[in-house]
Structure 1
């Protein structure tokens, strides 16, 4: 199993300024590479304190590339529904070149109503727009004189520049959250799968089976293999008691900021987002202890964290990579650094063989 860092800024101006947030995230990225982690991931969002500091994961990853030598750089995710494929393909290929071929591109459909409203896009069209844009980006990376005619964009005889450094293109992932069809589609398309198991890994086990079955049906006998990466909050401290104290404070902040961003779902429905209505109510009622007792976060001393990682991997049916959120809730840099230090020194040697 491989491990990395997952960043999603959830700061308010009172808890961390944008300058401080990115300074901390870059320092943690360098520390992660030195500690033996494999990847750094950043997420795109707008407008809300949940993710809104980072409208450009590729911009952040370019800065990480300049400070590191080997760590993989992952968008987790860019939101293709908000971008033209010519632009997205070119900007991603640029970061692939800057980093010497270290980019992984993760795509997500986007799900925050305020983002769609502000950008003047229909949520009910998001699935088709998401899939058409990914398909178009892959063509621009691998073909010349590409023409497209879709309800969302059109162009004739486009040859994208720069060409990807990795051939035929950077590894591609897609995020899935609740909709079974999303897991099946990603498997059929041969993409890697990104998940965030919010409450319990048990609820994702059947979805991972859908993904893997669809992948093997479509790509059995080829060199392609299904890949699953999970993002989880992590706190490691010298004792379970100290780790739980930190988790209670900063997971509560994380959940509160997230709940505010999804609160429009309390009064919104969309045929493209079955099961999302009331999402804010669910988050507001979720206790931090529920996350780390049921596996949606990993919290404890090094020995406890080793045990909980093994349990998580067993309950969910096995993942290839875990990407740790270690600075959630605008956690101060010293506390996040301590989690990363303890994980790399005392936990990683015991779990990387999973």
Structure 2
């Protein structure tokens, strides 16, 4: 049966209404409440150069969350590995493992935004090779306790590596395109996909199944993580009125255009009452047996009470129907 998590990017829709410190504290409070409600994981995104404060340092946030939680996994969704030196990521992630008792799920991806790579002086075209070599550097350091590596993009002198995370500490890969999914299957321990319109999920799952078959990997031991948008309220209209502006805000940079709420396909999004969304997820899971679903616990622009209510409704009325 699937498990469920919450996702936070800590971005505050402009104009900001509270200080960054206050907003972070509010989100950390929601994360602590999510653990109490039984969510199994929290996921943290990464982006750079945004005016709304999109989380730029997910592993720093993961360390803070490790101190506020006891049981839930803490995942990155996703850390843009080509922007970083992989040895630095291996070290920071190992420290989060130590602080959390081995609860980190390091999920990485190659990224897509040219301005982010320009900001760090990294060639955009080097994303695939930096991702592949970066994963290898991290795995070797974690597995062997040594840092030696020589490749096209990275040349790391040999030396000791500590602290090491628990044996088998997972590295998931975020991917959508067939080539990227094939890379995820070859190099990763699980796949993370972001799909907002739920009827697109089956096609993404078919790509995964094909890649698993081509690489002779077992589906049962390769988790399929679906991240999406969910918002619940006591009525469909209330849920949509609250969520639609935030969903349009999230979709605008992805589509590279200014999206209006009226542009969104209301009948293809997980927004509504607990019964409506629960029915949809039961149908979806029967067709696409995702292992884990995580959703934005605080959509940009939503107040804490709205976010808390949605998270509570999902935990109390939707999760029991699928577990």
When normalised by structure 2's length, the TM-score is: 0.92
> Cα offset for 1:335?
0.6
> Cα offset for 1:220?
4.3
Matched, 1:176 2:178: no
Correspondence 1:5-16 to 2 at 5 A? 5-12=6-13, 14-16=15-17
Shift in CA distance, 227/286, structure 1 to aligned 2, threshold 3 Å: farther
CA contact (8 A) 2:106 2:170 kept: yes
CA contact (8 A) 1:74 1:103 kept: yes
Secondary structure (helix, strand or coil) at the match of 1:105 reads: strand
> Cα offset for 1:153?
1.9
Q: Name the CA distance, whole Å, in 1 between partners of 2:314 and 2:146.
A: 48
CA contact (8 A) 1:252 1:329 kept: no
CA contact (8 A) 1:41 1:76 kept: yes
Could you give the per-residue CA deviations for residues 224-273 of structure 1, whole angstroms, max 9, x where no partner exists?
A: 712111111111111112111112232223334xx2xx6xxxxxxxxxxx
Matched, 1:19 2:16: no
Specify the alignment match of 1:115 in structure 2: 116
Correspondence 1:51-200 to 2 at 5 A? 52-164=53-165, 166-168=166-168, 170-177=169-176, 179-198=177-196, 200=197
Could you give the per-residue CA deviations for residues 74-129 of structure 1, whole angstroms, max 9, x where no partner exists?
A: 01111111111211101101000100111110001111111111111111111111
Secondary structure (helix, strand or coil) at the match of 2:55 reads: coil
> Cα offset for 1:172?
1.4
> Cα offset for 1:330?
2.8
CA contact (8 A) 1:29 1:40 kept: yes
Gaps of 5+ in 1: 263-278
> Cα offset for 1:133?
0.5
Q: Name the CA distance, whole Å, in 1 between partners of 2:191 and 2:10.
A: 22
Specify the alignment match of 2:277 in structure 1: 305
Matched, 1:36 2:38: yes
CA contact (8 A) 1:248 1:289 kept: no
Q: Name the CA distance, whole Å, in 2 between partners of 1:174 and 1:142.
A: 18
Matched, 1:290 2:264: yes
Matched, 1:280 2:276: no
Counterpart selection for 1:344 from 306, 315, 319? 315
Q: Name the CA distance, whole Å, in 2 between partners of 1:22 and 1:338.
A: 18
Could you give the per-residue CA deviations for residues 15-56 of structure 1, whole angstroms, max 9, x where no partner exists?
A: 343223211210111111100110001011111146x44221
Q: Name the CA distance, whole Å, in 1 between partners of 2:322 and 2:16.
A: 33
Specify the alignment match of 1:230 in structure 2: 226
Secondary structure (helix, strand or coil) at the match of 2:206 reads: helix
> Cα offset for 1:219?
4.5
CA contact (8 A) 1:187 1:212 kept: no
> Cα offset for 1:218?
3.2
Shift in CA distance, 350/58, structure 1 to aligned 2, threshold 3 Å: same
Gaps of 5+ in 2: none
CA contact (8 A) 1:11 1:49 kept: no
Q: Name the CA distance, whole Å, in 2 between partners of 1:112 and 1:220.
A: 31
Give aligned pairs, total.
321
> Cα offset for 1:286?
6.6
Q: Name the CA distance, whole Å, in 2 between partners of 1:288 and 1:334.
A: 25
114-123 or 7-16, larger mean C-alpha shift? 7-16
Q: Name the CA distance, whole Å, in 1 between partners of 2:200 and 2:37.
A: 32
CA contact (8 A) 2:282 2:321 kept: no
CA contact (8 A) 1:234 1:299 kept: yes
Secondary structure (helix, strand or coil) at the match of 2:221 reads: coil
Secondary structure (helix, strand or coil) at the match of 1:3 reads: strand
Secondary structure (helix, strand or coil) at the match of 2:106 reads: strand
211-220 or 317-326, larger mean C-alpha shift? 211-220
> Cα offset for 1:339?
0.4
93-102 or 240-249, larger mean C-alpha shift? 240-249
